[in-house]
Chain A
């Protein structure tokens, strides 16, 4: 059985309430469908998002499965060219707009942010609920579009194909994405006002957990970039509905204007996706090395720096599209700059690990996987920022491999790390640790097998978004698909054992990881109002040095 681990308790924390069978928490405070669908509790809203986002991930993953199956043969015998176009469009739209952008802010952010700052809820609880309904409307609409014929424009909707030539349901898809965008604006607004106005006494800016810093930076990006996306998608819709030409070169319009406005959102969007993941890594690395983060202020400011710099690099997606050479030069230089704050974070995480007391629980395995894969993917990003190389690999599988390394090898692994880390807090149950570690290894191996071949394919010249390819590329494609099947198994595992743990998992105490942070000072699962007494903060967020020395066994007595 598990040995007693002295719970982390800073001098000022309130006494944890006694755990008893009759304890009321946010899950059992009220019953019935209405109490969930009309809730304003940020924790319940986080769970609503968890369910819907998991569903979207599965659907997006199914599209990816069909893509990879089709690419087993060079003649693309599984689906027609048209269907293939619709498949990669569906995969991109769902994964970008309906999974990666909302997942960490709306699930883990919604759940943890008020707890981490010592508040009873977010600043605008009803707005929070509204953001979920707006998201669901967009999600329902995009699923309707996809299953009733789909769009074939790619998730990038380049004009004039999307505004003039495509024969698919482009306008409903655009409306759905605008809805998803509004949902993220509401969430970001909520986070920013909450961090400014609802921090507990003593919680100064530099005592905030780094997850909160990253969510704040993410919210800044969400608020400033998403409106531009809404505007440009509306313009495309107007052009399509009224048959006029805003981006149509035949009518003196410029297709590049669409690309400028589109990427002004979509590049910061990738930082919306990755920044919360980086915040999770900061939390997990410190906890499972029992060490304060190395260079707290550097990591905090790096988050803000990434948020600002991310807005200055968008045209690196357009190097070969026809922009002026001087403009390309400027954006190339700025793209190199944006790698610096990310690198600072990687250095600081590594330094945190150094001489730490490292244990390899599931969240830590995912986090370590993140650091390796994100760094590798980030380096290939610098390669893409070089104008000369970009000309060679643009629109090849090199680009695809690069962003999947960041998004899947990076972001999804960070999400897995956070989900496992906070699972005891969210559900009051422990997941089976052995299965967690197995899943982490399988995902890591499957991922590498899937995407490393794609770097080689891209460099050798295999073009993206094509359902057929030159037969010389078949071996690597088969390898990649084999890896994808392993990856699928890897993702199916957490789905299974996490749900299993809801019914048969060991009950978790308030702080199974002996972690610092206000969210661990309240029962698992937390009561509806989070804290019985408002906490008062008097130390930094990662003061593991204050902890008592009895740290031997882990929670499972292993």
Chain B
């Protein structure tokens, strides 16, 4: 049986507050950047910042950092399958104009 990591480490409250401050700063950042003229980069920048925030929430608030390997696998599986759904669907839509019947 695989070693199961237990959540004995009780994170201190100050870590949570620090993560929270970072999240708020990132939020202000992403909203502020939307007022700048980034043209086509808005989505990418927004998604990058959102991914950073999500990583912080997952690793620290959701204790992913101290979780068992299988937990990481479950989350990874969900994200990977979503990537399959999106990418293969988009291969249809993005290539429709390449060949005119």
A residues adjacent to B (C-beta < 8 A): 196, 199, 201, 220, 224, 228, 256-257, 260-261, 264, 311-312, 314-315, 323-327, 330-331
Pairs of residues from A and B, 3 with the lowest C-beta to C-beta distance, nearest first: A327-B92, A324-B95, A324-B96
Stretch at the interface among B13-21, B40-48, B80-88: B80-88
B35: Cβ under 8 A from any A Cβ: no
List residues of chain B with CB within 8 A of the CB of A311: 81, 84
**Residues 64-101 of B at the A interface (beta carbon under 8 Å):** 70, 77-78, 81, 84-85, 88-89, 91-93, 95-96, 98-99, 101
A231 to B28, CA, bound (A): 31
Please pick, from A196, A315, A323, the residue contacting B70 in the complex, using a CB distance under 8 A: A196
Interface pair B85/A324, CB less than 8 Å apart:
no
Interface pair A324/B84, CB less than 8 Å apart:
no
Q: A324-B98, A326-B99 are in contact. Are A264 and B92 (CB under 8 A)?
A: no
Interface pair A260/B92, CB less than 8 Å apart:
yes
Q: A196-B70, A199-B1 are in contact. Are A324 and B81 (CB under 8 A)?
A: no
A326 to B99, CA, bound (A): 8
- For A199, A224, A314, A324, which residue has the most chain B Cβ atoms within 10 angstroms? A324
List residues of chain B with CB within 8 A of the CB of A323: 92, 96
Nearest to A199 among chain B residues (CB) is B1
A224 to B1, CA, bound (A): 25
Chain A interface, DSSP helix/strand/loop, else mixed:
helix
Nearest to A315 among chain B residues (CB) is B92
Interface pair A220/B77, CB less than 8 Å apart:
yes
A228 to B95, CA, bound (A): 23
Interface pair B91/A224, CB less than 8 Å apart:
no
Nearest to B81 among chain A residues (CB) is A224
Nearest to B97 among chain A residues (CB) is A324
Nearest to B68 among chain A residues (CB) is A196
Smallest CB separation, A83 vs chain B (Å): 36
Interface pair B81/A260, CB less than 8 Å apart:
no
Interface pair A224/B78, CB less than 8 Å apart:
yes
Q: A220-B77, A224-B77 are in contact. Are A312 and B88 (CB under 8 A)?
A: yes
List residues of chain B with CB within 8 A of the CB of A330: 88, 91
Interface pair A228/B85, CB less than 8 Å apart:
yes
Please pick, from A196, A257, A264, A326, the residue contacting B91 in the complex, using a CB distance under 8 A: A326
Query: 24 A-B residue contacts at CB 8 Å?
Result: A196-B70, A256-B92, A257-B89, A260-B89, A260-B92, A264-B85, A264-B89, A311-B84, A312-B84, A312-B88, A315-B88, A315-B92, A324-B93, A324-B95, A324-B99, A325-B99, A326-B91, A326-B98, A326-B99, A327-B88, A327-B92, A330-B88, A330-B91, A331-B88
Please pick, from B70, B84, B95, B101, the residue contacting A326 in the complex, using a CB distance under 8 A: B95
A224 to B95, CA, bound (A): 26
Nearest to A327 among chain B residues (CB) is B92
Interface pair A324/B78, CB less than 8 Å apart:
no
Smallest CB separation, A216 vs chain B (Å): 12
A325 to B97, CA, bound (A): 10
Smallest CB separation, B75 vs chain A (Å): 12
A199 to B70, CA, bound (A): 15
List residues of chain B with CB within 8 A of the CB of A312: 84, 88
Smallest CB separation, B4 vs chain A (Å): 8
Nearest to B96 among chain A residues (CB) is A324
Smallest CB separation, A248 vs chain B (Å): 17
Nearest to A196 among chain B residues (CB) is B70
A256 to B85, CA, bound (A): 14
